[in-house]
Amino acid sequence: MNVFMGAARMPVAASVDATPDQRRVVQMAAGLLLDYPGDSLPGILDAATRDADLMPAAAADEIGAFCQVAREWGLRRLQEHYVETFDQRRRTALYLTYYSAGDTRGRGAAILGFREVMRRAGFEMAREELPDYLPVVLEFCALNETASGDELLRANREGLEVIRAALVSASSPYAHLLEALCTTLPPLDADTLARYQELINQGPPTELVGIAALDATPSPLTTGGRS
């Protein structure tokens, strides 16, 4: 069954010019705000608002719009919305290998691929979480000054666009964060757009068997589409 059936065919986010430093500020803010909201949320909202001048204007507007809603809703309502949105709906799962590998045996290797990219860059995770979890990926991107982080995002762009489109379709305030992030990424090329449309139409990969499953294991730094 295609869990994305009925998902809106949203146009992909437009891109804006952003320096590497501006992208990292957006990535850090979006990563912190996409994590489960806890008692530290007020401080994170204040920091994201304070750093608005360090972001491209379009991204800062999106981050600011989310922060305003978060303050209006309060912690409890935002927590309930977070669980409903990210824990109970597959089309907005925040684990990027779900979009490239689905619920297949190859997904374990894809997760290890994320971990290896981060390890080689000297990034050490400070908590028990899978390395393909989007807030972790964005923290890595924000703190890593090599090209590895941006390559991870580009290689998994179709998954980001599926999440973004689903959040927009659901009128979730979290759509603002994905809009901010995607506006700082390069424009979609034809291959990535085709993989995005394939994900919307067919859903993530399904289980393969035997040697075929090993041969189909995706790399986090290569395209996530199916052949």
3-class DSSP string for 159-219: HHHHHHHHHHHCCCCCHHHHHHHHHCCCCCCHHHHHHHHHHHHHCCCCCCCHHHHHHCCCC
What pLDDT was estimated at residue 31? 97
- Give CA–CA dist 132/137, Å, rounded: 6
Q: How many CB atoms lie within 10 A of CB 106?
A: 21
pLDDT, tens digit, 9 for 90 and up, residues 123-180: 988 778 999 999 999 999 999 888 889 999 999 999 999 999 999 999 999 999 999 9
What pLDDT was estimated at residue 172? 97
Instruction: For 135, list phi and psi in degrees, rounded to 5.
Output: -60, -35
Confidence label for 203 from pLDDT (cuts 50, 70 and 90): confident
pLDDT, tens digit, 9 for 90 and up, residues 112-125: 999 999 999 999 88
What is the DSSP-derived secondary structure letter of residue 52? G
What share of the chain in percent tops pLDDT 70? 85
- The residues with which 194 forms a beta bridge, in sequence order, are none
pLDDT, tens digit, 9 for 90 and up, residues 43-74: 999 999 999 999 999 999 999 999 999 999 99
What pLDDT was estimated at residue 216? 39
What pLDDT was estimated at residue 3? 52
- Give CA–CA dist 53/37, Å, rounded: 24
Length of the chain, in residues: 227
Q: How many CB atoms lie within 10 A of CB 214?
A: 11
What share of the chain in percent tops pLDDT 90? 64
Continuous H helices in the chain: 20-34, 41-50, 57-73, 75-82, 97-101, 106-120, 134-143, 148-155, 157-169, 175-183, 190-202, 210-215
pLDDT tops 70 at residue 227: no
What pLDDT was estimated at residue 126? 74
- The residues with which 133 forms a beta bridge, in sequence order, are 95
- Give CA–CA dist 139/145, Å, rounded: 12
pLDDT tops 90 at residue 78: yes
List CB contacts of 92: < 8 A, sequence separation 6 or more: 85, 86, 163, 166, 167, 170, 172
Mean of the per-residue pLDDT values of the chain: 86
What pLDDT was estimated at residue 76? 98
- Give CA–CA dist 30/189, Å, rounded: 23
The torsion angle over the Cα atoms of residues 98, 101, 105 and 106, rounded to 10 degrees, is -130
What is the DSSP-derived secondary structure letter of residue 87? I
Confidence label for 2 from pLDDT (cuts 50, 70 and 90): low
Q: Which of 198, 200, 216 is closest to 108 using CA atoms?
A: 216
